């Protein structure tokens, strides 16, 4: 499990399942197997597989979300056997020293980024297989955490320079990218997806001298400690109104890199609505990793997700949420053009 987002009840954490032992879970996805150094076989979850796996089979690993009046995947403090922090994982790798080709490639990549950008070792952490010790030195990717808006901005600027001037770096979603499996998303095409992912800059390859191969890497944006605010409020009540499709202009994308990513909305125009005269949401809240950093201020976006009403001490507001559960692959956030005011008919078609 990894902690999902920053808003949690006292003594517990909402989580995202990442891996399961092969004795409990089977996968036909060729990307799934992970081999720990101490033996055994783990399988990685993709999409909403992990959410469905825990919700269906392990009810003890669920946590009540009071505002939603629903149970989500989560852990109580007494259920946590071990916690692994991504920053401490990187420091442990530094203390231990590079003991295989992938670990040497990790330091090679960090050296390249720090040589170009104003970045410190403390701006980074590691996650994924290299954190848990079941990476394959000759096959695995490098999964890095970058902490905070400042460091993320520096890292992305460094990657702009490296992609453009260093032949040993290339954007994963550059020319020639195509999906390596049956396309799951129903509201965004592979070419649209590649355009969005490519401009995020955080997914790439570099030709590692140490590993002797092109190593895939990812930078996962995480808030720095000073940016973290726990906004969980058990006195709020969230009511799901239903499925909605809308266009809106992004008014605020400052939290779009993080998970959940959020986008302030204005000039909302419904295409499909769950109720007559739908209330206008001022926020898109997204727990789907693929749609982080998807748009910037002033862009016009298409959003498909769940319209919610939130009642709390500060009044009533509305949001559209992309999350685990039904219609997972129908959800989307994508840019459809520069900002513009709504010019669609005032009466959207009702939801299915």
Query: Is the pTM above the cut of 0.95?
Result: no
Arithmetic mean of pLDDT, 85-105: 93
For the cut 80, the answer to whether the pLDDT of residue 341 exceeds it is no
Percent of the chain with pLDDT over 90: 82
Highest averaged pLDDT of the listed ranges 20-29, 98-107, 179-188, 245-254: 245-254
Of 88-97, 133-142, 271-280, the least confident: 133-142
For the cut 80, the answer to whether the pLDDT of residue 271 exceeds it is yes
Per-residue pLDDT at 265: 98
Radius of gyration of the chain (CA): 21
Of 91-100, 161-170, 337-346, the least confident: 337-346
Number of helices (H), then strands (E), in the chain: 6, 19
Which residue, among 256, 260, 278, 277, has the nearest Cα to 335 in the 3D structure? 256
129: how many CB neighbours lie within 10 A of its CB? 23
- 266 confidence band (pLDDT: 50, 70, 90): very high
Of 28-42, 218-232, 304-318, the least confident: 28-42
| H or E element, residue 33 | strand 33-34
**Domain covering 237-350 in this structure, CATH number:** 2.40.50
Per-residue pLDDT at 352: 47
Residue spans per domain, the chain: 2-79, 86-226, 237-350
For the cut 50, the answer to whether the pLDDT of residue 96 exceeds it is yes
Residue 169 pairs in a beta bridge with: 206
Helix, coil or strand: residue 311 = strand
List Cβ<8 Å contacts ≥24 apart for 113-118: 113/155, 113/158, 113/159, 113/162, 116/158, 116/161, 116/162, 117/154, 117/155, 117/157, 117/158, 118/154
User: How far is it, in rounded angstroms, from Cα 78 to Cα 59?
Assistant: 15
Which residue, among 54, 72, 85, has the nearest Cα to 7 in the 3D structure? 72
- Whether the link from the prior residue into 11 is cis, omega within 30° of 0, is no
91: how many CB neighbours lie within 10 A of its CB? 14
Do 13 and 5 form a contact (C-beta atoms < 8 A)?
no
**Token pair belonging to 250:** 């992004």
Mention every residue, 6+ apart, whose C-beta is less than 8 A from residue 224. Answer: 147, 148, 149, 150, 151
């Amino acid at each position: 499990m990894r902690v999902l987002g920053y808003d949690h009840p006292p003594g517990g954490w909402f989580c995202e399942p990442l891996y399961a032992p092969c004795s409990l879970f089977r996968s036909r996805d060729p990307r799934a197997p992970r081999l720990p150094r101490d033996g055994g076989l783990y399988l990685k979850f993709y999409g909403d597989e992990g959410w469905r796996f825990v919700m269906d089979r392990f009810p003890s690993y669920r946590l009540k979300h009071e505002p939603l009046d629903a149970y989500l995947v989560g852990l109580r403090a007494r259920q946590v056997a071990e916690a692994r922090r991504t920053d401490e994982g990187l420091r442990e790798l530094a203390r231990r020293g590079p003991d295989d080709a992938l670990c040497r490639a990790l330091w090679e990549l960090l050296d390249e980024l720090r040589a170009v950008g104003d970045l410190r070792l403390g701006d980074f952490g590691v996650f994924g297989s290299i954190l848990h010790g079941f990476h394959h030195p000759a096959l695995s990717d490098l999964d890095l955490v970058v902490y905070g808006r400042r460091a993320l901005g520096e890292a992305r600027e460094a990657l702009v320079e490296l992609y453009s001037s260093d032949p040993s770096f290339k954007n994963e979603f550059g020319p020639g990218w195509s999906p390596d499996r049956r396309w799951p998303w129903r509201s965004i095409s592979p070419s649209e997806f590649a355009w969005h992912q490519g401009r995020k800059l955080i997914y790439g390859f570099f030709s590692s001298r140490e590993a002797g191969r092109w190593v895939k890497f990812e930078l996962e944006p995480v808030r720095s400690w000073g940016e973290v605010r726990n906004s969980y409020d058990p006195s709020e009540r969230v009511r799901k109104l239903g499925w909605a499709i809308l266009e809106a202009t992004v008014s605020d994308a400052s939290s779009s890199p993080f998970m959940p990513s959020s986008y302030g909305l204005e000039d909302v125009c419904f295409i499909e609505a769950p109720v007559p005269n739908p209330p206008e949401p001022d926020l898109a809240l997204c727990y789907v990793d693929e749609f982080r950093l998807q748009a910037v201020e002033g862009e016009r976006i298409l959003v498909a997700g769940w319209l919610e009403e939130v009642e709390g001490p500060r009044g009533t507001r509305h949001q559209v949420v992309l999350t685990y559960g039904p219609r997972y692959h129908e959800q989307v956030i994508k840019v459809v053009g520069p900002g513009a005011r709504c010019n669609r008919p005032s009466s959207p078609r009702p939801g299915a």
